Amino acid sequence: MSNLIGRLRKVHNLDNELRRYRSYRDSRPAELQEKERECSDIDRQRVLVEEKKKDINLKIRHVEGQVRELEEKVDRFKGQQGQVKTNQEFHALKSEILGCEADISRLEDQTLELFESNELCDQEISGIEERLATKKAEMEVLRKEVEKDLLGIDQDIKEFESKREEATTLLEEHLLEDYENLLSGCGGTAMSEVADGFCQECSVQVIPNQLNLLSRGDTIVKCKLCGRILYLQD
């Protein structure tokens, strides 16, 4: 690869490696963010169930208050029963008492149901906390793995960068500038292989005259569609 295209391809290959390594490096923190997002989702579920539990407890207190009021009423009616003078008044009070006792029994059933719902919330919360602890442990393992991995990748990237620096010194300044412009303008790939007469980046057919020039390896030939510097398949 001592000719012009060969020297360019060396830089091109290093750029491809750099792109691959950088993209891998950038994808790893995203994996970690995904795990963090999973943890916050689970935590949000816990908050929702805790709010539901708070509502249930408020209802329980409210119903218990109603029961207390009814019990006081019953006591009052029973006290009044001893003071009434007619049978009719006595029976009227008795009917009030029975009504209150029926309401108390209904409210006590309601309290029982609310206590059961409260217990279900506790079970749900403990399940969520268990899942959260597992997810957090997984996240810590991944965090350590990613930190270690990134350290290694950064080292590899530095090595590729210094190799690239060295490879670019073999290119003339205007050629390097042209290459760099293509690199930034063509989505990070400044060169394209020609296989079976076609540009492998944009699939356009390369004309025979261009193929002839390419086979010499010392002329810059650009794809007429995507503009990348072409090189022949090895």
Q: Which residues contact 180 (CB under 8 A, 6 or more apart)?
A: 190
182 forms part of the interface with Zn ion (CB under 5 A): no
202 forms part of the interface with Zn ion (CB under 5 A): yes
Nearer to Zn ion, 32 or 226 (CB): 226
Structure tokens at 156: 């590899």
Number of residues that bind Zn ion (CB under 5 A): 6
Minimum CB separation of residue 140 from Zn ion in Å reads 47
157 forms part of the interface with Zn ion (CB under 5 A): no
Minimum CB separation of residue 225 from Zn ion in Å reads 5
Nearer to Zn ion, 97 or 199 (CB): 199
Strand pairing report for 198-199 and 191-195: antiparallel
Find the helix packing angle between 173-185 and 4-81, rounded to 10°.
Answer: 30
Per-position DSSP letters for 153-201, written without gaps between them: HHHHHHHHHHHHHHHHTTS-HHHHHHHHHHHHHTTT--EEEEETTEETT
Per CB under 5 A, the list member of 199, 206, 221, 229 interacting with Zn ion is: 199
Binding mask 207-226 vs Zn ion (x if CB under 5 A, - otherwise)?
----------------x-xx
Nearer to Zn ion, 202 or 220 (CB): 202
Give the full edge-to-edge strand order of the sheet including 198-199: 198-199, 191-195, 229-232
Minimum CB separation of residue 181 from Zn ion in Å reads 16
Q: Which positions touch Zn ion (CB under 5 A)?
A: 199, 201-202, 223, 225-226
